Chain A
Amino acid sequence: MKMSRFSSIKNNLIVYSLSIVLLMTILSLYSLNIIDRYKHQIEGMFERHIFLSEIETMMNEIDENLLGFLSSKSSTRLNEYNITTEELKRLMGDKPADLYNMEDLIMKNIKELVNEYIGQATKAIEYKRQRNARQYYQHYQKSEKIKAFIYDYIDQLDSKQLTRNSKSYLELVRQIPRLQTITYIIVITLILLSICIVYLITSRMVRPFSHLSYAAEEIAHGNFNTEDIIVDSEDEFLLLATAFNKMKNSIGQYVDELTKQAETEAKLKDQQMKNMKMVHLLDNAKLYALQSQINPHFLFNTINAGVQMSIMERATKTSEFLESMSRLFRYNIKKMGDSCTLKEEIENIKDYYDLLKVRFGQRIQFQFYIDPTTIKLKVPPLILQPLVENAYIHGLSGLEEGGTITLKTIKSSDSTIITVEDTGKGMEAAMIQHILNKERDDTYNSACGIGIRNVRDRLELFYHTTEIFSVESSIGEGVKVVIRIPHDISMG
Chain B
Amino acid sequence: MVNKKLYALVFVLALILLVSVGMGLWVSSALSQASQNEFFWESKKNANYHIMVILDASDQAYSEAFTKGLMDSAKEYQIAVELIKVDRTNGNQALLDALDMAAYVKVDGIIVHAFNNQTIIDKIQEITKMSIPVITLNEDIASSGRISYVGVNRYAIGQAAGKVLADSIKGSGKIAVIEQKGYDETYSITEDLLLLGIKDVLKADSNLTLELVRYTEQGVLSAETVATEILNEEEGISGIFCTNGQNTLGVVQVLLDKNLIGDIILVGYGNEEEILNFLEKGNIIEASIVTDYEVIGQEAIKVFNDYINTGLASNYVNIDLRVINEATILEYRSEMSKEHEDE
| A165 and B104 within 8 A (CB) | no
Chain A residue numbers with a CB within 8 Å of B10 are 193, 196-197, 200
**A103 in the interface (beta carbon within 8 A):** yes
| A175 and B35 within 8 A (CB) | no
| B47 and A100 within 8 A (CB) | yes
> Would you give the shortest CB distance from A34 to chain B, in whole angstroms?
5
| 19 extra interface residue pairs, beta carbon distance < 8 Å, beyond A100-B46, A100-B47, A193-B13 | A30-B24, A34-B24, A34-B25, A34-B28, A37-B28, A37-B29, A98-B46, A99-B80, A102-B40, A105-B47, A108-B105, A109-B105, A165-B35, A182-B24, A186-B20, A186-B21, A196-B9, A200-B3, A203-B3
**B82 in the interface (beta carbon within 8 A):** yes
State the majority secondary structure of interface residues on A.
helix
C-alpha spacing A451/B119, complex, angstroms: 173
| Residue among A109, A172, A175, A196 making CB contact with B6, cutoff 8 Å | A196
- B residues with CB within 8 A of A: 3, 6-7, 9-10, 13-14, 16-17, 20-21, 23-25, 27-32, 34-35, 37-40, 44-47, 50, 80, 82, 97, 100-101, 104-106
C-alpha spacing A199/B16, complex, angstroms: 19
C-alpha spacing A185/B18, complex, angstroms: 11
Chain A residue numbers with a CB within 8 Å of B21 are 26, 30, 186
Chain B residue numbers with a CB within 8 Å of A34 are 24-25, 28
Chain B residue numbers with a CB within 8 Å of A37 are 28-29, 31-32
C-alpha spacing A105/B105, complex, angstroms: 10
**A145 in the interface (beta carbon within 8 A):** yes
| A168 and B37 within 8 A (CB) | no
Interface centre among B16, B21, B104 (most CB of A within 10 A): B104
Stretch at the interface among A39-47, A69-77, A246-254, A415-423: A39-47
Which residue of chain A lies nearest to B100 when distances are taken between CB atoms in the complex? Answer: A145
- A residues with CB within 8 A of B: 23, 26, 30, 33-34, 37-38, 40-41, 44-45, 98-105, 108-109, 112-113, 116, 145-146, 149, 164-165, 167-168, 171-172, 175, 178-179, 182-183, 185-186, 189-190, 192-193, 196-197, 199-200, 203
> Would you give the shortest CB distance from A264 to chain B, in whole angstroms?
52
Chain A residue numbers with a CB within 8 Å of B25 are 30, 33-34
| B24 and A179 within 8 A (CB) | yes
Across the A-B interface, give the 10 residue pairs with the lowest CB-CB distance, nearest first.
Answer: A168-B35, A171-B34, A99-B47, A98-B46, A109-B105, A112-B105, A116-B104, A182-B24, A101-B37, A193-B13
| B104 and A146 within 8 A (CB) | yes
> Would you give the shortest CB distance from A167 to chain B, in whole angstroms?
7
Chain A residue numbers with a CB within 8 Å of B9 are 192, 196
Chain A residue numbers with a CB within 8 Å of B7 are 200
C-alpha spacing A190/B25, complex, angstroms: 17
| B16 and A189 within 8 A (CB) | yes
Chain B residue numbers with a CB within 8 Å of A100 are 37, 39-40, 44-47
C-alpha spacing A199/B46, complex, angstroms: 57
| Residue among B23, B44, B82, B104 making CB contact with A149, cutoff 8 Å | B104
C-alpha spacing A108/B16, complex, angstroms: 47
| A192 and B105 within 8 A (CB) | no
19 A-B pairs within 8 Å (CB atoms) are namely A30-B24, A34-B25, A37-B32, A40-B32, A98-B47, A100-B40, A102-B40, A104-B37, A112-B104, A146-B104, A164-B38, A171-B35, A172-B35, A175-B31, A179-B28, A182-B27, A186-B20, A190-B17, A200-B10
| A185 and B16 within 8 A (CB) | yes
Interface centre among B3, B16, B17, B45 (most CB of A within 10 A): B17
| B35 and A185 within 8 A (CB) | no
Chain A residue numbers with a CB within 8 Å of B105 are 108-109, 112-113, 116
Chain A residue numbers with a CB within 8 Å of B14 are 193
Chain A residue numbers with a CB within 8 Å of B34 are 167-168, 171
Chain B residue numbers with a CB within 8 Å of A104 are 37
Chain A residue numbers with a CB within 8 Å of B47 are 98-100, 105
Which residue of chain B lies nearest to A38 when distances are taken between CB atoms in the complex? Answer: B28
C-alpha spacing A167/B31, complex, angstroms: 10
Chain B residue numbers with a CB within 8 Å of A23 are 17
| A185 and B20 within 8 A (CB) | yes
